[in-house]
Every structure is written in C-alpha cells, then in structure tokens.
Amino acid sequence: MEKVVIIGTGCAGLTAAIYTARANLSPLVLTGTLPGGLLTTTSTVENFPGFPEGIDGFELMTRLQKQAERFGARIQYGTVDAVHLGEKPIRLVIDGQSVATETLIIASGAGHRHLDVPGEHELEKKGVTYCATCDGALPMFRNQPVVVVGGGDSACEEATYLTRFASKVFLVHRRDSLRASRIMAERTLANPKIQPVWNSVVTEVLDVATGKVTGVRLKDVVSGAESVLPCTGVFVAIGHVPNTQLFQGVLDMNPAGYLRPVKGTAMNIPGVFTAGDCSDDVYRQAITAAGMGCSAAIDAERYLASLNA
Ligand code: NAP
C-alpha cells in the first residue's frame, strides 16, 4: 500500500512530492494528461523567486521533477479513472489498475476555459488553439493576422509571444481595460504589433465549411454592432476551470468547482489534501501553488504520524 499518492505534476504536485519524498514517504506522483502542468505551456516565467533572468516554464518543471526524483518520488505517467475516497485505505483506479493509499494529495490543476461559440470546437487544431507557446510558430500563423481573446495576464503573454510570428495580433477583450497586472498590460499595449479590440466578444469562429480559420465574427457589446475580423488563428486565453470533475459530490467544492479544504489543506474526508490551481481561485501563481504543495505535504505527513501515534 502507498503512503502518499499525489495527483498532478504542476508546481503544487511536484513541491508536495519534494517534501513528502524528503520525509521518506516515497510518494507516487501521477502526471495526468499534461506532465509538468500548465506552466510547461508558458514561455518565460519572470516572477518565480530565485531566477532573476527568468526561466523557461518547461525547464522549471523539469528541474522540479528532478529534485523530487532525487529524494525518491516515483513519477508515473497516467490518469486517474476513478477514486473511492470513502474506503479506508483510499482506493484509486489508475489506467485500469487499482492502487490503495493512506493519503491522497490532489493537485490536479486547471484546464483552459472554452469560448463555447460555433466553430470553436470544430476548428480546434485547425487554427483555434489554447497555447501560443505550443502552436504559435506553426506555418499557418506566420506573417498572418491572428486573434487573442481575453484580457488577463495569459492573454497579454500570448499576444506578446505571438508578435514574433504573426503580422498583427488583435487582442479581443469584452471590456475596455485589461485585467492583467500593470507591467504586463503596459508592455502589451505599448507593442506596435498588438491592436486591442475593446468591448468585443467573439460570437463565431469562421469558417467551418472550409475546414480552417479565416476570421472571427465579433459583437460590440456596447453598440451591438457585428463585424468580421479576418485572421488565420484564434488563441483563446480566457481563464481556467479546475480539474475536479472526478470529485464532484464527494469533496467540498465551491459552485465554480474549486476544492474547499476544511482546515489548512485538509479536505472533508480524512487523509485527503489539496493544493494548487484546483483549489485556488484567488492567487493562481506558480509560487503560491508551490507553497500550497508544501503545506499539503506537511499536513499529509502529520496525518500519517497521527495514525501511528
Ligand atoms: P484571468 O485572470 O481569469 O483572466 C481571464 C480573462 O478572460 C479576463 O480578462 C476575462 O474578462 C476574460 N474572460 C473570461 N471569460 C470570458 C468569456 N467567456 N468570454 C470572453 N472573455 C472572457 O485568467 P488568466 O489570464 O489565465 O490568468 C489566470 C491567473 O494566472 C491569474 O492569477 C494571472 O495573474 C496568472 N498568470 C500570471 C502570469 C504571469 O505572472 N506571468 C501569466 C499568466 C497567468 P474580464 O476581465 O472581463 O473578467
């Protein structure tokens, strides 16, 4: 039987892995579908303490994984099909295999929010994408106009990154000011290749009939006017939804699906802890996720000690 299973290998999961591994608990760490978490899809991380020049998101996550493995964490590529949290020990089904564990740290992160407009789903990977770092350099976007949707730090980061490849980046936002941090917003709006399109929402991605993105249909939310903006790519950066569907009806969560611990990182079922973006709808930073991962590891360690006291 496992002492600690950690779901997720983002900043929260891998920090929990470092701490529980150093406590000789030999954690089993499950990667899920995106090993390294969302940070692997970002470009340079400029605000993680200790890296004055910034660090590539993928490199940061690779280093965290190496650090966890050095102390005995076992990283397993796989996804959790089912959880039986009511059983003692807790039982998980991982890619069809049953695994029993005394404690579970849920650091399953968050996924990209979708626009839910006609054409978005049909044209995914045919011009609609959720990751500029992953897809921005594709030939279909080079020297072409592209659209980024959103007004937060992610949208600004994506828009700035895309200026390397696209002829023009239209930043479509539903209000007339950015939600992004001041430094990101100022840098974005000062970039001559980025043109904000304020007070506008995408109502359709065109053109499903041709099988590729040729533009977006826009609606001005103030005047109600509709227009078409030609582009070859749509980069959706409108926030995230927590990956907690598996725990619905079993673990406490808020209406948006973020896990709600009862004390510290401890959930409403003994032995279950949570950390990172799946339980944080406020800060959602790499460093806060890492801090939460550390807290969850310490809480799990103390819980295990209390069982043997
Ligand atoms: P976010 O801060 O939640 O921003 C989401 C943006 O999308 C908002 O501007 C929002 O508009 C807009 N939006 C939401 N739903 C929409 C919809 N259905 N249609 C159109 N627009 C919609 O998300 P984020 O930018 O992904 O950032 C998430 C967290 O990660 C934040 O805490 C951010 O600071 C952090 N982050 C940090 C960095 C960095 O520091 N380098 C980089 C990326 C992300 P409204 O503004 O009108 O609500």
- The question of whether 134 is a catalytic residue gets the answer yes
Sign of the C-alpha dihedral, residues 151, 155, 157, 159? negative
Ligand 1 centroid from CA 286, angstroms: 15
The H or E element that residue 18 is part of is helix 11-22
Cβ < 6 Å from ligand 1: which residues? 47, 113, 115, 149-155, 157, 174-175, 179, 201, 237-240, 284-285
pLDDT under 70: residue ranges of the chain: none
Q: Tell me whether domains 2-111+240-307 and 114-236 share a fold.
A: yes
At 134 the pLDDT is 80
Q: Domain 2-111+240-307: give its CATH architecture.
A: 3-Layer(bba) Sandwich (3.50)
Decide if 231 is catalytic.
Answer: no
Residue of 44, 154, 173, 281 best suited for mutating to test ligand 1, as the one with most atoms within 8 Å of CB: 154
Cα(135) to ligand 1 centroid in Å equals 19
Burial of 125 (0-12, 13-18, 19+ CB in 10 A): exposed
Give the pLDDT of residue 67.
Answer: 98
Pairing status of strand 55-56 against strand 168-172 = unpaired
Ligand 1 atom 18: the closest Cα is on which residue? 115
Q: How far apart are CA 123 and CA 129, in angstroms?
A: 9
pTM over the 0.85 mark: no
Plot region of 104 (φ>0 → left; ψ -120 to 50 → alpha; else → beta): beta
154 neighbors 39 (Cβ within 8 angstroms): no
User: Among the options 81, 95, 134, 176, which is catalytic?
Assistant: 134
List residues bridging with 293 in a β-sheet: none
Contact 87, 41 (CB under 8 A): no
The answer to whether residue 156 is catalytic is no
Question: What is the C-alpha separation between 75 and 28, in angstroms, rounded?
Answer: 6
Number of other residues whose CB lies within 10 A of the CB of residue 87 = 9
The residue extents of the domains of the chain are 2-111+240-307, 114-236
> Of the listed 11, 131, 156, 231, which one is catalytic?
131
**Which residue of 153, 156, 241 sits with most ligand 1 atoms within 8 Å of its CB, as the best mutation to test the pocket?**
153
| pLDDT number for residue 187 | 96
Give domain 114-236's CATH architecture: 3-Layer(bba) Sandwich (3.50)
pLDDT at 230: 98
For 274-288, what is each residue's pLDDT tens digit? Answer: 999 999 998 988 999
Tokens 């897809």: give the residue.
135
